[in-house]
Structure 1
């Protein structure tokens, strides 16, 4: 029962990480409605590959280095912001696009979606933050009584999740897999009924990516400014 509970909890955690609106889902949506289900899934796999990389880094403790290196974290956020603005420009160019005018079998376009999502995910501080906090907690061996934590004493002991267990990790990536295959499928199904959805999704993707790009750049500036100022003051004083 504990193994099944851990597996299901992992699926929920995976969906919770993958499903919220954000830059990765904007890329998946754009690829899906403009180039088809395969391209959307490839973009989703790009984001999932980044999670697999962060998973390995969290296992060996390398992700925690960012907590002690504000310059590195700030630079990463800045690069992420620039990438998002660049991809927002590309999405804006697709606003006049149409489902009917796109060849969904072009391998270069599909692989570009994978690379685009992978690059964004690797430079996404929110994804790194997940692995610094929740992700690390999931990997540490232990047991969580879900209902006891929720203060539902009548059901205490009914749902115990083993953190750090293979079942939790398998469920976690299974949840991500469900999203990156199901989300493009839902968009493609809607595409068949609403031809006008293509430019709308492209426009929304451009706006979302541009918005996140500006936020990331502002975050990077806020992180780097004190560090650079302190370094400059030290240099002048020296």
Structure 2
């Protein structure tokens, strides 16, 4: 039970750092409520599962090839810049009355896309889960691999719920100005990540 609890804490720790997914969850939760925020987090978690599966199957060797890393940086930069510009441009015309409810499936797709194209997330999971696999094998606990992996995602899901509950509880204070400010900050955050990943991409080819 101690090991399971440790891996749940690992999942929470991996999800807690501020990033594009957490920012998107906060925005969607404030604008659309608990389910919209949670759906973004679950979508991102599906992308995490995909990358963990690739690590388990040994594809991390491909991801660590320099030219592949450069592509991931530039592609991630393009997507984040596009989403950031789109978010910033709609800020002025956004009001509570103009908001439309986003279906959970759309939130899943949005969260999945954000995590899928996030180069830091990709390499982070490759490094972390690769280390977890090595540790489990080293200690002869290969038969517990599935249990420990599920424990990690229990932690991730718990954090998604915390963000969803926190953001949805802030809806009562929502005004048009606050809504526009949140959307602007979220858009600028995505632009910042896009510029950062583009910078890393340039460095990787120099």
Q: State the TM-score bracket (shorter-chain normalisation).
A: 0.7 to 0.9
Pick from 50, 66, 69: which aligns with 1:70? 66
SS of the aligned residue for 1:219 comes to helix
TM-score by length of 2: 0.87
> Who is 1:222 aligned against?
203
1:27–1:113 contact (8 Å) kept in structure 2: no
In the alignment, structure 2 segments of 5+ residues that lack a partner are none
Whole-Å separation in 1 of the counterparts to 2:117 and 2:100: 29
Q: 2:189 aligns with which of 191, 208, 211?
A: 208
**Normalized against structure 1, the TM-score is what?**
0.76
SS at match of 2:14: helix
Distance 2:63 2:145 in 1: 25
Aligned counterpart in structure 2 of residue 90 of structure 1, from 86, 92, 106? 86
Partner residue, 1:189: 169
Higher helix share: 2
1:120 aligned partner: 114
CA distance in 2, matches of 1:186, 1:101: 23
Aligned positions, number: 201
In structure 1, the gaps of 5 or more residues are 145-161, 227-238
Cα RMSD (Å) of the superposition?
2.1
Pick one of 176, 179, 201 that aligns with 1:198: 179
Q: Match of 1:147? A: none
Q: Deviations over 1:44-100 (max 9, x none)?
A: 111101110011101111122122x21121111101011111111222134343445
The question of 1:40 aligning with 2:37 is answered: yes
Residue equivalent to 1:235 = none
Cα gap change, 1:32/1:24 in structure 2, threshold over 3 Å: closer, same or farther? same
With over 3 angstroms needed to count, the CA separation of the structure-2 counterparts of 1:112 and 1:89, relative to structure 1, is farther
Residues 190-209 of structure 1, C-alpha deviations (whole Å, 9 max, x = no match): 11134354222212111111
1:81–1:213 contact (8 Å) kept in structure 2: yes
Moved more, 31-40 or 74-83: 31-40
Measure, in 1, the Cα distance between the counterparts of 2:137 and 2:39.
Answer: 34
Change (3 A) 1:6 1:166: farther
SS of 1:56's partner is: helix
Provide the secondary structure at the position in 1 that maps to 2:173: coil
Give the Cα–Cα distance (whole angstroms) in 2 for the partners of residues 143 and 171 of structure 1.
19
1:130 aligns with 2:124: yes
Contact 1:63 1:131 survives alignment (8 Å): no
CA deviations on 1:23-43 (whole Å, 9 max, x unpaired) are 111221222222222221111
**TM-aligned CA distance change 1:206 to 1:113, over 3 Å:** same
What is residue 156 of structure 1 aligned with on the other side?
none
